[in-house]
Amino acid sequence: MRYFLFGLSALLCLAAVVAKIFHGGYALPLALLVPAFIFLVVGMLKSRSEQRPVQFEDLEGWHREELQGLLDNGQFGTAVRQVQMWFRGTSHERAEEIVRRLT
């Protein structure tokens, strides 16, 4: 759904550019940009709502091996940051919980 909204927003933006080139006025492009903005915002809100917190079960085997190697070298902080890099938007506290489950 969000891809549809983003695509529709992009299509309306392109239509606004074409309308400005061929029509020359400001009313039609502006009328096309307003719904494009609305579709973009709704798509971004849907994208944000679809994200869920990362769970320990989301780690694949190679993730666990990589983290275990870091923990074996005493690099707990690096392991936490690695979880945050793999799963964008994960808080430091949540990443710590996941890494602690490996110890």
Instruction: Please tell me the pTM assigned to this model.
Output: 0.54
- At 24, is the pLDDT very low, low, confident or very high (cuts 50, 70, 90)? confident
**Per-domain residue ranges of the chain:** 1-50, 56-102
Residue-wise pLDDT tens digits, 41-84: 999 988 776 667 788 788 888 988 999 999 999 999 999 999 99
Measured between alpha carbons, how far is 7 from 1 in angstroms, rounded to an integer?
A: 10
**Residues 51, 55, 60, 66, CA torsion sign:** positive
